[in-house]
Amino acid sequence: MEQLLRWDTELFLALNNLGRESWDSFWLALSETATWIPLYALLLFLLFRTLSLKVFGLTVLLIVLNTFLTDQGSVQLFKEQFQRLRPCHVEALLEKMRLVKEGCGGKFGFVSSHAANTFGLAVLAGNILKLKYRFALVGLLLWATLVSFSRIYLGVHYPLDILCGGIFGALCGGLVLLIFKKINKA
């Protein structure tokens, strides 16, 4: 386990130090939830156009459930249990890394809530929309990947935080998708 964490730290430093000041504002904006409000509105619009009103209402409730599961699950099941410090809270790393974000966030970083939330939404909404919009799932997974990578770039998460957060989010999205399919058939 210690070797895995060492590799994770080395990969974090390599990726984080690829950053350039000229790109910092781009990655900061990408990481901000408010930046994506137009995307969320577009997703709701596309779901509204794709589904009946009754199924759309149910889908909105399931998206809320999915967000609750990914957000609270990432904190309660992982961050509070593993208590792995974010790289920006590790004194020995501060001189070796680029901390782009003002403020580091909470003390613990395993798993990334950004990764869990975005991958959960991508899997759920992307799978519902892909029948009508062929590239919806791929586009949303690309979006989730970029948002998640921004957290490494900014210096607030290790790669394993992102990978495990993404997997957790995708599993939650898949579980809620199964609920959607089961209810939608009834």
Domain spans, the chain = 2-185
Q: Which residues of the chain have pLDDT under 70?
A: 186
Architecture of the domain made up of 2-185: Up-down Bundle (1.20)
What single-letter amino acid sits at 77?
A: L
Distance CA 65, CA 132 (A): 24
Q: Give the pLDDT confidence score for residue 101 in this predicted structure.
A: 83
Contact yes or no for 119/144 (Cβ under 8 A): yes
Contact (Cβ atoms closer than 8 angstroms) between residue 66 and residue 124:
yes
Torsional sign, CA 176, 82, 102, 16: negative
pTM of the model: 0.94
